[in-house]
Structure 1
Amino acid sequence: MKYWLFKTEPDVFSIEDLEREKISFWEGVRNYQARNYLRDEVKPSDLVLFYHSNASPPGVIGIAEIVAAGIPDPHQFDPNSKYYDPKAPKDIPRWYGVKLRLHTKFETLISLDMLKSLEGLESMIVIKRGSRLSIQPVTKKEFEIVQKLGLGRKN
């Protein structure tokens, strides 16, 4: 099992949207490194820190679970989609997504400032200056620290 952090803007797709949809396809990733994670490394049963970005404040609001591994993002082929990519051939898809479902919604958002202050998260990618990647690997230790905090446990 691997652990991830997925960033999303809550006005585009929030944890409440995921809760309502039950299972959702994570589409629209248009960065090659993030695409490679989705296509090659994110697998069913992996757990995801669900991160609201471009929010005030940004932070982790819950946990999702991957239910289906990387599959071609159908939006890349749809000229009416904002995620359309005219250079993506159907026989060799360029962009991928995964399916996920809500695992746990936290009572309180764990803000980026709080993440920056926690011992054990010093190497976490999301707290590094200039880190904009929407799909990021997280170590088991980092995941467990954030999960405990999100569930209201001290240790």
Structure 2
Amino acid sequence: MRKLLFVLLICTAVACTKDTYKTLISKKWVIESVTVTPAMTLGGKTDTNYIALSGPENCVANLSLSFAADSTYVAGANGALCDMMADASVKTWKKDGNKIVLSASPSAPLSFDGKKLTQTTTTQQNGTTYTFLYTYKSK
């Protein structure tokens, strides 16, 4: 009986992993929020909501990711001047546990829980280190 339960547990875990993988590649992922810590000041406004600071027409407010089964992905943004960010090179991704490692930013992998993708990056500006948490939802 214990062996049967163990086998069922393993099968369930593998099935969930495959379903999670299918979810990743079957959806387009769009930015839901970008939180910056500590609060940043732009244009006289101070906030932790980076999209609100940047404005809804800014490229960061329109980020998207699409993953393919052949381990390639497309990152993009639509909005004024976003085409200036266009990169025609082939980009690849790989799964590492619940992390998604992108060839364009291997030091900042995305975490994937089956429903949301999150990515944390840091940058220094005027002696302050800012941490950005990007959250993507499926569309």
What TM-score comes out, normalization by structure 1 length?
0.22
Higher relative contact order (CA 8 A, sep 6+): 1
Of Structure 1 and Structure 2, the greater strand share is in 2
What TM-score comes out, normalization by structure 2 length?
0.24
